[in-house]
Amino acid sequence: MSSDFKPVKLRLGRGGGSQLSPRPIYKGTMNIIEFVTDQKLIGDRNISPAQRMALKSVYGLPLDVEELDLFKKTTDLEDYPGQEQTEVTFLLGRRSGKSDKLASNIALFEACIREHEVSKGETPVVMVCAPEMARQSKIVFRYILGKIEASPILKRMIKRVTTEEIELQNGCLIQVFPADQGRIRGQSLACFVADECAYFKVEGKSVDIEILEAVRPGLSFEHSKIVKISTPALQRGEIWNDFNHYYGKPNDHCLVFRGSTALFNPAFSKKKLAKAKSRDPLAYETEFEATRFRSDLSAMYDPLIIDRAVNPDRPVELPFRSDIEYYAFADVAGGGGKDSYALAIGHLEEDKVIIDVVRSRIPKFNPDEVTAQYCELLKGYQIASVTGDKFSGDWSLNSFAKNGIEYRRSEKNKSQLYLEAEGAFNTARIEIPKKDNLVIQLKSLVRKARSGGHDSVDSDSGQPEDEANAICGVAAMAGVTNLVPQVFVLGGLDDDFDWEQRLIWENRKAAEVREQDPPEWKEWTTEAFAIRFLAYMQMGGMVGAAKRLGVEERKLRSWFGAKQPWVNCLGRARAAEILATQTTGEAG
């Protein structure tokens, strides 16, 4: 095989015409395996057998006996289709080489080697989309640009490079950026690679289905394809639908693979895998085995309620007022990892906490310098002490003390703070500034059911949630998470509360938890009991409702998620009437 590089004509159809574009030309037809392993091109001789099989299968290349066994094992199909695919889904464990070995190599092959028939003025685009986190899309971009620049042949194809695009001399454009429907529409797509598409979110809302629906009309060329690569997530969305409808089922629409980290990347540390399994076996099945979609997770807060908490008409930071007592909570970080160092300041007005200031510093930073800056801010609000987590032993105490501020360790961990803040959000007892990063963090929080009833809360996308933690810490300090107002009486329900929307949300949220069907269910389906539950829910969240009803919280979530015959029949007037007759005796 020769590696001569010479200008050739791009095939231009649908209008005719021609143009010269330099491309690497080889004797015979180059396939993706030759492209990836050629030392003058990608030069990767370390792809695993499973990764090699996956790349071959996308393009319908012949498989040897070992690869055929791997194909059957990962697709649950008996027959190998042996033809190029237009839509492929890979469900793989973490560190399986999804971005490096699959996403970037397919994107480069489509942009640098594959000839696409185009119209005059048309630009074939190879697009790689990653989750909303800028970090993930930058990783994929570095893989692609690094491989081009390392090749003595491919680097000569570079015409222009920006932070998100690589324009090639052959007229192709490689784009890599976070999931965004608006940037997809109107493009002529030669290939669309959705990297970690189960985690596509915009402002905390899952948009994977919407993104893929926007992509399909732009697949303009004969061999245009969609390649979806992700670790499993919740039982919803594009990846879950593909697995449900196409895995192990012969079809012409989508070829679905499922494989573990150990299978696709045998070089990955077995010790790390064993440690991850012992730490959380259920999470291990999802994150590294790719055999399980999560059913034990639900969104922590209703996105509509988060939006309601935002005051868009106020400044992002409120000025100091001498007539107010302020509270401060810090989520401390060391500056070298992925976590930000966040600080929130707030105050109480009647029974509502107002978040005055939220600041954060993303890595890398000097934690002593950030602490000093935050201490100056605290002094500006006449705050002598700050509460925070138990980060790094005594370091936090000493660092703040050096700057004249007392640091107090929180008795509650972040999960407890998030859970207790649910009541404050549900009852509109918290106001937050219009700060995009904070809103995204709050909407990305998921609640995980654990044995013993002690649920945990974390970000579903792995991105930092330090600002969210800080404001919930302020809410706890101000006491709004512990306020339990009287049960509603004849005055009826809060006029601003949207019962129908809340019911729909609670139903959807609870449905993601494992269903149970206890004998007590008949008693619980009465309309009166449902209204009592809703009233308590509005006042104190699920935690408060469980306490007032004397029921274990996890059971309450599961039961009301399993069956809700009254969801669509409760009107505001009827709700007020039932509430007045059923709860008057419990008021106060």
DSSP string for 310-351: EETTS-SSPPP-TT--EEEEEE---SSSS--EEEEEEEEETT
Say if residues 179 and 207 touch (Cβ distance below 8 Å): yes
- What span, in angstroms and rounded, lies between the C-alpha atoms of 241 and 87? 13
> Is the model's pLDDT at 260 over the cut of 80?
yes
pLDDT of residue 550: 67
Token pair of 175, please? Answer: 């784009």
pLDDT of residue 266: 93
Token pair of 18, please? Answer: 């021609």
- Name the CATH code of domain 5-114+121-287 (choices 3.90.1150.10, 1.10.150.120, 3.60.21.10, 3.40.50.300): 3.40.50.300
pLDDT of residue 561: 44
Query: One-letter amino acid identity for 556?
Result: L
> Is the model's pLDDT at 385 over the cut of 90?
yes
Q: What is the total residue count of the chain?
A: 588
117 versus 54: the higher-pLDDT residue is 54
Binned at pLDDT 50, 70 and 90, residue 186 comes out as: confident
pLDDT of residue 491: 29
The DSSP secondary-structure symbol of 219 reads B
> Is the model's pLDDT at 170 over the cut of 90?
no
Binned at pLDDT 50, 70 and 90, residue 23 comes out as: very low
Say if residues 140 and 128 touch (Cβ distance below 8 Å): yes
Query: Range with the lowest mean pLDDT among 187-196, 339-348, 469-478, 553-562?
Result: 553-562
pLDDT of residue 384: 94
475-520, pLDDT tens digit by residue?
988 876 544 332 222 223 344 444 444 444 444 444 443 344 443 3
pLDDT of residue 388: 93
pLDDT of residue 54: 93
> Is the model's pLDDT at 80 over the cut of 90?
yes
Query: One-letter amino acid identity for 465?
Result: E
204-213, pLDDT tens digit by residue?
567 777 888 8
- What span, in angstroms and rounded, lies between the C-alpha atoms of 287 and 260? 9
> Is the model's pLDDT at 562 over the cut of 60?
no
Instruction: Give the DSSP H or E segment for 116.
Output: none
120-138, pLDDT tens digit by residue?
777 888 888 887 655 667 7
> Is the model's pLDDT at 422 over the cut of 50?
yes
Tally of CA atoms within 13 A in the half-sphere of 518 that contains its CB: 16
Closest CA to 444 of 132, 191, 210: 132
Listed by start position, the domains of the chain span 5-114+121-287, 303-482, 499-586
Identify the top-confidence range among 24-28, 50-54, 291-295.
50-54
Q: Other C-beta atoms within 10 Å of 426: how many?
A: 25
ω into 364 cis (within 30 of 0): yes
Say if residues 329 and 478 touch (Cβ distance below 8 Å): no
423-462, pLDDT tens digit by residue?
788 778 899 999 988 988 898 888 776 655 567 888 876 6
Token pair of 86, please? Answer: 């237009």
> Is the model's pLDDT at 567 over the cut of 70?
no
- What span, in angstroms and rounded, lies between the C-alpha atoms of 359 and 348? 19
Token pair of 437, please? Answer: 């990063």
Pairing of strands 430-433, 310-311: parallel
Query: Range with the lowest mean pLDDT among 135-149, 163-177, 247-261, 525-539?
Result: 525-539
What mean pLDDT value characterizes the chain? 77
**CA distance readout (Å), 218 to 167, 189, 256, 309, 393:** 19, 5, 22, 38, 54
Say if residues 259 and 74 touch (Cβ distance below 8 Å): yes
pLDDT of residue 117: 77
pLDDT of residue 555: 62
Token pair of 320, please? Answer: 């100091």
Query: Range with the lowest mean pLDDT among 272-276, 300-304, 557-561?
Result: 557-561
Give Cβ neighbours of residue 363 (< 8 Å, ≥ 6 apart): 333, 335, 336, 337, 338, 339, 340
**CA distance readout (Å), 60 to 57, 65, 90, 99, 243:** 5, 15, 16, 21, 21
> Is the model's pLDDT at 557 over the cut of 90?
no
Binned at pLDDT 50, 70 and 90, residue 580 comes out as: very low
Give Cβ neighbours of residue 3 (< 8 Å, ≥ 6 apart): 24, 26, 38, 40, 41, 153
Burial per residue of 9-26, b for 16 or more beta-carbon CB atoms within 10 angstroms, e otherwise: ebebeeeeeeeebbbbeb
Burial per residue of 468-506, b for 16 or more beta-carbon CB atoms within 10 angstroms, e otherwise: bbbbbbbbbbbebbebeeebbeeeebeeebebeebbbbb
527-549 vs 414-426: helix axis angle to the nearest 10? 140
pLDDT of residue 27: 36
> Is the model's pLDDT at 533 over the cut of 70?
no
Tally of CA atoms within 13 A in the half-sphere of 362 that contains its CB: 7
- Match 């100056």 to its residue by tokens: 376
Architecture of the domain spanning 303-482: 2-Layer Sandwich (3.30)
pLDDT of residue 538: 58
274 versus 394: the higher-pLDDT residue is 274
pLDDT of residue 534: 63
Say if residues 146 and 138 touch (Cβ distance below 8 Å): no
User: What pTM did the predictor assign?
Assistant: 0.57
Work out the average pLDDT over 554-577: 42
Query: One-letter amino acid identity for 202?
Result: V
Q: Phi/psi of residue 188, each to 5°?
A: -95, 100
pLDDT of residue 133: 54
